[in-house]
Amino acid sequence: MIALLLFGWLAGQAGASNAAQHLQAGLNARNQHQVDVEIAEFRKATELDPRLADGFFNLGAAFMEKRDYGAAIAPLKRALELSPDLPAAHQLLGYALLAEGYAAEAIPHLEKVGAQDALAIAQLETGQLSDAVVNFNAVLAKRPDDPDLLYYLGHASGLLSKSAIDALISAHPDSARAHEALAENYFVLRQMPQAEKEYQEALRIRPDLPGLHLELGQVYANSAQWPKAEQEFRAETKLQPGKAEAAYRLGAALLQQGKAQEAFVELKHANDLKPDMPETLYSFGKAASLTGDAATAEKSWIRVIELEKDTSLAAQAHFGLAGLYRKQGKTDRAQHEMQEFQKLQSTIGPPRSE
Amino acid sequence: MVRQLTRRNFLGFAALAATAPIFEVKPLRGVDFILQNSPTPQKYLIETMPGGVALFDYNNDGLLDLFFVNGGRIANPLHVPEKFDRGNSKYWNRLYRQNRDGSFSDVTEAAGLAAADNGNYGMGVAVGDYDNDGYPDLYVTSYGKNVLYHNNGDGTFTDVTTKAGVAAAGWSVSAGFFDYDNDGHLDLFVTRYMDWDSDHNKICGGDWHTYCPPGVFPATTCVLYHNRGDGTFEDVSERSGIAVKKGRALGVSFADYDADGFTDIFVANDGMQQYLFRNNGDGTFRECALESGAGLTSDGKGLSGMGTVFQDYDNDGRPDILVTELPRELYALYHNDGQSAFSYQSLESGLGALTSGSSGWGIGLEDFDNDGWKDLFVAQSHVLDNVEKIDASLRYKELPLVALNHHGHFDRVDSGATSPLAGRGAAFGDINNDGWMDAVITTLGGPPVLLLNRAGGSNHWLSIALRGTHSNRDGYGARVQVNGQTRFATSAGSYACASDKRVHFGLGSAEKATIEILWPSGQKQVLNDVRSDQFLEVREPGRS
């Protein structure tokens, strides 16, 4: 990262100097990519004139070019002592310090020149996570596909999240949110009994906290305890009647228990609240099929295919349509859908058990 | 719809209200068999897969006897060529003769069934009278080679594998006798699980150290043997089209699903699509599970198929298919819609709520309460012996699942078992000849468990022994219909097991029955006003 930033800066600086003979010789050497000659010439220039800020700056820049960041620090610092407002020196010194692990020391130099990418890294290193996330987001707006930046942003966001949760648990260990946070951790670790216990404690403290029933329901769904999952999802739909996900989850839990008619109602409601969600539409189609409403099932699954085109959910919708048409005696259409299903399978992988 | 739901709710409530379990766990007096699977830290996949049990009357004394398939000793580590110490009596298969007082006597040695080949780690068993001499023969599947034991009719058996040409090779699990060409001689189908040996074993699960999922190992083909009628069989796997499809086959079941007069084959594959081999009637089969709707879940996903049964659960006259699976999947129920089409109805039938957290192996559809509807029994246990460490919501040992059938909807009832078991095989039959179906299950590393039907209630029943003349002697493959119910005669199905060949019907309050039999020979036979509550032998008309 540092090397990339440096390369860009050096390119802009080549030929910009109008210093003395050795200084000029050093700049000439830079143009010819003779780094060692560069260093020797700039060193001579600084020895001959110890107050030559440009000489120290270029010596530091040459070390940076050679990726000897440790050696670059002293001449760059001297350059700034002689000429405190030299922006390029601040930038290079910031990079050098950051590369050598002195992130805290690098920050004021990077701030001075607005080097947001390096600054964000330095902030991440020094635990200034909120600032780091802000700066990473700002740079990503300009370079949205940069893999390094994406990695750093993810890393910083994760740490920020963990830090906030740690602070929550430390400061308010008996709060509903602390128990919820612990429960979420257990859920991720697939430790369902512990997750269940923490969610229940959170609910005991704040029974009306939105989201808790939904999350606890997912714990039960994950361990195939469908009646309990249904109960929690139902509670969430009462708390948040406008939340499509709660209605969807409730519908799916009902479907798992073979309560097709009730599932149909909930899934229809979920689709009304948030139309064109493929998962909802797919399950709605299943519920419709189970209740004998072939027309709705067909319509839902066709819409899934329109939305998804070549995903595994689209494959499932083709498979569902094949079954529907087979049952209706529409052999040709069933075969066509089965072919589409198999075609998608061959591109996205064979059918697997859940 | 409202009326149906109301009725279902009422029936569900009624089922829950019936507090007495259907079965009572009873000691198998005289049976000291322990299924030696010999688990090792190497997690050889064979360790978790045995073993079968057969309920059959080997000496024709009218009492069901028991045959258990044993695993073997597994060295740690084990190398090819594997030896399983089968000469050691601890690792023998066992035959127990039932005595008049309901106890059992170990007759293994006297019957000539001791000391299986050292290279065979036992898996399953099939029962059929392949030579039509009136005595049921045994076919034992193994990792290694399979063995056909001819029943000599004098209490002894003779290993006729070489002469018969049915040793197969590799890793066989389930097998079943059936007459695919209706020539009156029982043919033999053998499922093979995968291409595996101990030198190519793998351990999965990272630090957890678990058995690997089947997809880690290469698939293989099943084997079909045609009975020539002279005591020998011909391997027709290739010619018949069976070997066209490679799979990871565990269970097998038979029925004529399309009513063309020829028995079809359903194969439960593990971790992939299931196979339905349609009998073309000319000695060949065509795999058609996908196009028939019996290959995947309703979401188009594969299944961890293990045990299977192919019988009519909803009394519409057409055989349906049930398959046991791992948790997070539902035991699959493929309803036969007619016109060679099936639809996945696990959710509608109630299996979704009953089975999504369980692992099933041996399975049976039998009318345990004699109400005229076939109920569900499944031997359960996870495949991984350390699954609880990996997923705290799952259990290695489970209680068997018993679910009563209320007009096509299954509702769980108390099985009567109080301790969770590492269940594998399950075979069904009326062990004490009281007119109520019982179950025997095998448990990994443990003794078999008898679940004796408590015979509660006043419902009537009928047990029919078929006596084929043109058809094979035991009438395997016959479609038997009694008072609107249908069964296909077979001892095969479940997982690696063989059940009582007698065809059992619960009659509810009916004291008389009408029996209609479509024999494999094509002959139709009708018996009217048959008295209930009896064991009836029905002879195929036309030939003495």
DSSP characters over B228-289: -SSS-EEE-HHHHTGGGS-B-EEEEEEE-TT-SSS-EEEEEEEEE--EEEEE-SSS-EEE-H
Query: How far, in Å, CA of B332 to CA of B253, rounded?
Result: 14
List the alpha helices (DSSP H) in B25-183.
161-164
Given an 8 Å threshold on Cβ–Cβ distance, is A350 in contact with B302?
A: yes
Which among B5, B291, B341 has CB closest to A338? Answer: B291
**Cβ pairs bridging A and B (under 8 Å):** 105
CB B110 within 8 A of CB B172: no
Handedness of CA B375, B381, B387, B393 (dihedral sign): positive
Query: How far, in Å, CA of B398 to CA of B382, rounded?
Result: 8
Q: Is B5 on the interface with A (CB under 8 A)?
A: yes
3-class secondary-structure state, position B112: coil
Q: How many CB atoms lie within 10 A of CB B90?
A: 13
Q: ω into residue B81 within 30 of 0, thus cis?
A: yes
A36 CB burial (10 A radius; 0-12, 13-18, 19+): exposed
Per-residue tens of pLDDT for chain B, all 544 residues: 333 434 444 444 444 444 689 999 999 999 999 999 999 999 999 999 999 999 999 999 999 999 999 999 999 999 999 999 999 999 999 999 999 999 999 999 999 999 789 999 999 999 999 999 999 999 999 999 999 999 999 999 999 999 999 999 999 999 999 999 999 999 999 999 999 999 999 999 888 899 999 999 999 999 999 999 999 999 999 999 999 999 999 999 999 999 999 999 999 999 999 999 999 999 999 999 999 999 999 999 999 999 999 999 999 999 999 999 998 889 999 999 999 999 999 999 999 889 988 999 999 999 999 999 999 999 999 999 999 988 888 899 999 999 999 999 999 999 999 999 999 999 999 999 999 999 999 999 999 999 999 988 899 999 999 999 999 999 999 999 999 999 999 999 999 999 999 999 999 999 999 999 999 999 999 999 999 999 999 999 985 4
How many residues are recorded in chain B? 544
- Whose tokens are 């003495």? That residue is B544
Mutation for testing the B interface, residue in A264, A284, A354 having most B CBs under 10 Å: A354
Given an 8 Å threshold on Cβ–Cβ distance, is A222 in contact with B298?
A: no
Mutation for testing the A interface, residue in B301, B398, B401, B407 having most A CBs under 10 Å: B301
Which among B297, B304, B341 has CB closest to A326? Answer: B341
Instruction: State the DSSP code for B199.
Output: G
Q: Which residue of B has its CA nearest to A189?
A: B391
- What is the structure's pLDDT at B69? 98
Measure B294 CA to nearest chain A CA, in Å: 10
Distances (CA, A) of A120 to A57, A70, A72, A124, B294: 24, 21, 22, 6, 57
* ipTM of predicted assembly, 2 dp: 0.87
CB A218 within 8 A of CB A192: no
pLDDT, one tens digit per residue, over A313-333 is 999 999 999 999 999 999 999
A contacts of B214 (beta carbons < 8 Å)? none
- What is the structure's pLDDT at A12? 42
pLDDT, one tens digit per residue, over B471-509 is 999 999 999 999 999 999 999 999 999 999 999 999 999
Instruction: State the DSSP code for A158.
Output: H
Of residues B392, B375, B356, the one with CA closest to residue B457: B375
Mutation for testing the A interface, residue in B5, B9, B216, B299 having most A CBs under 10 Å: B299
- Whose tokens are 């360790």? That residue is B47
Statement: residue A305 has pLDDT above 50: yes
Task: Record the pTM.
Answer: 0.84
Handedness of CA A199, A200, A202, A203 (dihedral sign): positive
Which among A257, A290, A352 has CB closest to B302? Answer: A352
CB environment B110-136: b (16+ within 10 A), e (fewer): ebbbbebbbbbbbbbbbbbbbbbeebb
Mutation for testing the A interface, residue in B356, B359, B395 having most A CBs under 10 Å: B356
Q: Give the β-pairing of B460-467 and B534-539.
A: parallel
Given an 8 Å threshold on Cβ–Cβ distance, is B291 in contact with A354?
A: no
A-proximal residues of B, 368-397, CB under 8 Å: 391-394
Given an 8 Å threshold on Cβ–Cβ distance, is A258 in contact with B353?
A: yes
H or E element in which residue A30 lies: helix A21-31
Given an 8 Å threshold on Cβ–Cβ distance, is B303 in contact with A353?
A: yes
CB environment A229-261: b (16+ within 10 A), e (fewer): bbbbbbbbbebbeebbbbbbbbbbbbbbbbbbe
Of residues B132, B168, B128, the one with CA closest to residue B149: B128
Given an 8 Å threshold on Cβ–Cβ distance, is A258 in contact with B296?
A: no
Measure B391 CA to nearest chain A CA, in Å: 7
Given an 8 Å threshold on Cβ–Cβ distance, is B352 in contact with A226?
A: yes
CB environment A161-173: b (16+ within 10 A), e (fewer): eeeebeebbeeee
Which among A258, A315, A318 has CB closest to B348? Answer: A258
CB B42 within 8 A of CB B201: yes
Given an 8 Å threshold on Cβ–Cβ distance, is A338 in contact with B343?
A: no
Q: Is B537 on the interface with A (CB under 8 A)?
A: no
Which among B298, B304, B353 has CB closest to A323? Answer: B298
Among chain A, residues having any CB pair with chain B shorter than 8 Å are 190-193, 222-227, 255-258, 260-261, 286, 290-291, 315-316, 318-320, 322-323, 326-327, 329, 334-335, 338, 341-342, 345, 350-354
CB A110 within 8 A of CB A87: no
Q: Which residue of A has its CA nearest to B305?
A: A353
Handedness of CA A308, A312, A313, A318 (dihedral sign): positive
Sheet bearing B534-539, strands edge to edge? B503-508, B460-467, B534-539
Query: How far, in Å, CA of B418 to CA of B367, rounded?
Result: 22
Q: What's the whole-number mean pLDDT along residues A289-298?
A: 96
A contacts of B5 (beta carbons < 8 Å)? 261
Given an 8 Å threshold on Cβ–Cβ distance, is B326 in contact with A351?
A: no
Given an 8 Å threshold on Cβ–Cβ distance, is A224 in contact with B328?
A: yes
Measure B109 CA to nearest chain A CA, in Å: 43
Given an 8 Å threshold on Cβ–Cβ distance, is B271 in contact with A335?
A: no
Distances (CA, A) of A319 to A303, B179, B198, B337: 14, 34, 38, 17
pLDDT, one tens digit per residue, over A219-277 is 999 888 999 999 999 999 999 999 999 999 999 999 999 999 999 999 999 999 999 99
Q: Is B216 on the interface with A (CB under 8 A)?
A: no
Q: Is B296 on the interface with A (CB under 8 A)?
A: yes
Given an 8 Å threshold on Cβ–Cβ distance, is B353 in contact with A227?
A: yes
Given an 8 Å threshold on Cβ–Cβ distance, is A351 in contact with B339?
A: no
3-class secondary-structure state, position A68: coil
A121 CB burial (10 A radius; 0-12, 13-18, 19+): buried
Amino acid (one-letter) located at B100: R
Q: Is B333 on the interface with A (CB under 8 A)?
A: no
